[in-house]
Structure 1
Amino acid sequence: MSLNFVDIPSTGGGWLKPNDVKDAPALLIEVNSYEAQRPTPNGPKDSALCDVTVFKDKAALDALSPEINKGMRIEQTLLARDLAGMVGSATIVQLTQIPPKRPGAYPAWVWRPITDASVRQAVIQYAEQREAAVTAAAAEAPSFD
């Protein structure tokens, strides 16, 4: 019988701060869990627990050397709700702000799909290399049967 190893989602990655990643050419978002109206000290919030891989700039993308944040909490309303149906899946996106609909309101952060095929392909290549490395490491692990 082979074991199916799964990481336990944790909150060690802190919270997503859109201003820190707004200029990133690509984000790989892997959604671990979603909680609607999760209790917080500031009232209930929709919350997604994700592994967020950030390609901070074009050089990081070209070198396939991103910043990896395991267990990052996303609680911005629009961002979290967009991830609600994606538990167990991943997406490649960018962050952008849209102007407010009401005068005096704050601009909202929203996910935007990557339209540049070369950027999207580079992120997919990174993910495939990462999965291949995990598979190779598992194959090299000793069997205790």
Structure 2
Amino acid sequence: MMRTRTARALRSLILLLGIATATASTVHPVRAAGGADTGSKGAQVYCYMRTAGNGHEVSWNAAYALIKRQGSGMFKPSPEHAAVMITEAVVNDPDGFPECGRHLGALFGGDQGDLDGALQGVAPDAAPMQGLDDRYTY
């Protein structure tokens, strides 16, 4: 009798863990539509702040904070993933984010200032991206 209860409890636990694992794996990938909304909201914040004259750091902190809080998954997006979400939102809707494309390089370690004259006379492959690994910290 005791062995039957233990076996039944073990089967119930395994079933429950299986359901929980399946649910967690389908919830985490920042829902297809929800992820797009989150990236778009982050892009709105980042682009608005940059266009209004704020620097990269303060704009990034505000956008990343919004993305972390808006995420629906059990885990929060990494800073690198959040930067990609912002970039995708801007590239997918350039008319919705005018003047923002010029600031996207700063998300990936590029020039953080105004890019108007920064690229004149510089070969595209002249300077490798430095500090990309330590750029974003939690």
Using structure 2 for the length normalisation, give the TM-score: 0.31
Instruction: Decide which structure has greater helix share.
Output: 2
Instruction: Decide which structure has greater strand share.
Output: 1
Asked which structure has the greater CA Rg, the reply is: 2
